[in-house]
Amino acid sequence: MNGSDFVKRLLVGRKLSSAQLGETLLPKRIALPVFASDALSSVAYAPDEILLTLSLAGMAGLVYSWEVALAVAVVMVIVVISYRQNVQAYPSGGGDYEVATVNLGPTAGLTVASALLVDYVLTVAVSVSAGIQNAKAIFPFISGSEGMWAAALIVVLMALNLRGVRESGTLFAVPTYAFMAGVLTMIGYGLFRILVMGEQLRAPTAGYDVQGSESYEPLVGVAFVILMARAFSSGCAALTGVEAISNGVPSFKEPKGRNAATTLGLLGATSITMLAGIITLSNLTGLKLTDPDGHSHFTLNGAEIEVEHQTAMGQLAQTVFDGFPFGFYFVIGATLVILFLAANTAFNGFPVLGSILAKDGFLPRALYTRGDRLAYSNGILALAAAAIGLVLVFNASVTALIQLYVVGVFVSFTVSQLGMMRHWTRHLQTERDPKERGRMHRARIVNAMGLTCTGTVLIIVLAAKFIYGAYLAIIAMALLFFLMRGIRRHYRKVAQETAVVPGEARMLPSRVRAVVMVQAINKPALRAVNYARATRPSSLQAVTVSVDEDETARLAEAWNLADPGVSLKVIASPYREVTGPFLNYVKGLRSDNPRDVVCVYIPEYIVGHWWEQLLHNQTGLVLKTRLNFMPGVMVTAVPYLLKSSKYAINRAERDDVAAWRRPGVGAVHSGEHIGSQK
């Protein structure tokens, strides 16, 4: 095992064979933190976004927080119920993309795919950025370099996910369940103290008033509608992540569809409970937030004052656990961790969707295959790179990134619900069982409600967020849409160009003109000549380029003494260039006959260390690259193993033996593993 393999094994883990894919499937208890951590964690910042937006209208706006939260909860209920049908009708993992493609056509499917891919990237960026913003309360040294810290955390998450879905899910299960337990305990204990014990719990900001923006004062008419729309659209960030389960159904244990639907139900019930509980506690404790960009301010006795920014979760934990510091630190710590790990949802959804799109020819085929740990490694790397770019550009600002968020997921929600309605309509045309038809009618009504609801939310989100940054997300979706269409068009053209025409399979070249590149009289050069002679070409010529007359004369004399049976042609190079004259010579051998072939043989040293590669084969590498673009020219590298190559051979043999000895790999006809044979 060489150094790079050792580092890779240390970071990612040992390789898994394709036969071990079943071992990576997830039970519901692990699938919930793997696929639902994004939606669950959104309760850590969705209430903040509602309160921050409403603060633009001052105290008059904050009184509407529970109405906005109720509207968000209603939408979540409808979406969860609708998606429970999606995962059972389409359990193959295509999710919204498959639903839209099958029922509405490739254009609709590609629209959904573009929206989801952009949303997954934003999920990682927003989740990690929100965690960084919360972490500043404990680690103030983060301030000023939030983007760099967020990028570093994304790299860590990437490395964890490269280890495989099940292993990363096991790592993330404990903090996810700790977050759920901490928040639900905080809500329950806080309501118990207020409603049962009659205590007057007051948040740290309860004693302040809020001065809003002049644009929303007074809060009537159009200003009221616009503000409610903005607050509602920001609160709908709580719905992101619901669609990830529909894309990750293949990762569930059997029965996949039923287990995915159950997990969706658990996700919806938990998220709604936590969101409603936080907004209720915020109202009961007088909690207030102001826009950190300065559009709203805290005031005391009519005078504007500076108050250190605290999140809603931080204020509530401080208030509810005022005499129990452990509870406060537990909730805040769990919140920080879950916000960082929420990106794990995207790290599972994006690669699976990317693999399906690659299989259909819309993305590079490198995204289709699984890596050493049976995870879609290239998709994980692509997602991490895009998210790192975003957090660096926006310096991990949640307020800036949240404006780009949600648009993509509601595009996919809306198109998917329309596709499901078409799905049920199509099946009703052939179904004759009255009981089954009744079930389909009810399912279509549910999806019709989902379409109406998500379509309305999409319009509100676009109208409320467009000028604040949502247009950037729309531009990204459009660019990705046309890029994927271009990739598909390219693959189709290549397939057409390379398709076999009847009669071509046995068509031989009319003439083969062989050329051997000679730079020195040595064993590699003579081996290349002998190999070329063995192929019996129509003509054979050894060629060298003269960059030094004395050296060329010595080479010609040595050639004649060796007498390899092939004449040596010397090409003059007055400007001491090797590649140009040689390429011109090869080009001159080409004829107008498309069945003529020029085959160039280039001796190549096989070395055992990476640094030796820098000392050899450089001219040959340039020649091979240039010759590959010449029509009718074939390039053959004739290898010559230097003594140092034994080190590379030994490393490869050790890796092969280690791979065969792993359980589940290299099974023989007898049913035994090679590693267990005596």
**Same structural domain for residues 456 and 566?**
no
Our separate counts of H helices and E strands in the chain read: 26, 8
Give pLDDT, residue 483.
94
Q: How confident is the model at residue 156 (pLDDT cuts 50, 70, 90)?
A: confident
**Same structural domain for residues 458 and 559?**
no
- What pTM did the predictor assign? 0.70
**Same structural domain for residues 590 and 458?**
no
Judge whether 485 lies within some domain: no
Give pLDDT, residue 287.
92
CB 110 within 8 A of CB 270: no
CB 129 within 8 A of CB 401: yes
Judge whether 19 lies within some domain: yes
- In whole angstroms, give the CA distance from residue 364 to residue 384: 17
Judge whether 420 lies within some domain: no
**Same structural domain for residues 542 and 456?**
no
- In whole angstroms, give the CA distance from residue 294 to residue 262: 43
Amino acid at 167: E
Most confident range, picked from 33-47, 444-458, 523-537: 523-537
Give the full edge-to-edge strand order of the sheet including 568-572: 568-572, 539-546, 511-517, 596-606, 633-641
Amino acid at 540: L
Q: How confident is the model at residue 568 (pLDDT cuts 50, 70, 90)?
A: very high
Least confident among 62-71, 122-131, 487-496? 122-131
> Does the pLDDT value for residue 678 go beyond 60?
no
Q: How confident is the model at residue 300 (pLDDT cuts 50, 70, 90)?
A: confident
Q: How confident is the model at residue 664 (pLDDT cuts 50, 70, 90)?
A: very low
pLDDT of 214-268, one tens digit each?
A: 777 676 777 788 888 888 887 887 777 777 777 667 777 777 778 888 888 888 8
**Same structural domain for residues 457 and 567?**
no
Least confident among 162-166, 179-183, 392-396, 408-412? 162-166
Report the CATH number that the domain containing residue 622 is assigned in CATH: 3.40.50.620
Least confident among 4-8, 491-495, 566-570? 4-8
Average pLDDT over residues 605-625: 84
**Same structural domain for residues 79 and 198?**
yes
Judge whether 42 lies within some domain: yes
Q: How confident is the model at residue 3 (pLDDT cuts 50, 70, 90)?
A: very low
Domain count, the chain: 2
Give pLDDT, residue 602.
94
**Same structural domain for residues 264 and 180?**
yes
User: Which residue in 321, 325, 319, 382 sits closest to 350, CA to CA?
Assistant: 382
Give pLDDT, residue 144.
79
**Same structural domain for residues 533 and 386?**
no
**Same structural domain for residues 634 and 529?**
yes
pLDDT of 22-51, one tens digit each?
A: 445 667 777 777 777 777 877 777 888 889
**Same structural domain for residues 258 and 377?**
yes
> Does the pLDDT value for residue 665 go beyond 60?
no
Judge whether 63 lies within some domain: yes
Report the CATH number that the domain containing residue 178 is assigned in CATH: 1.20.1740.10
> Does the pLDDT value for residue 677 go beyond 60?
no
Range of the domain at 200: 3-302+311-397+449-462
Judge whether 674 lies within some domain: no
Judge whether 426 lies within some domain: no
- Mean pLDDT for the chain? 82
Interior/surface letters 135-155, b for 16+ CB within 10 angstroms, e for the rest? beeeeeebeeebbbbbbebbe
**Same structural domain for residues 266 and 152?**
yes
**Same structural domain for residues 457 and 538?**
no
Judge whether 657 lies within some domain: no
Amino acid at 18: S
Least confident among 325-339, 614-628, 640-654? 640-654
Determine how β-strand 209-211 pairs with β-strand 297-300. antiparallel
Half-sphere exposure of residue 548: CA atoms within 13 angstroms, side-chain side:
6
Most confident range, picked from 248-257, 380-389, 574-583: 380-389
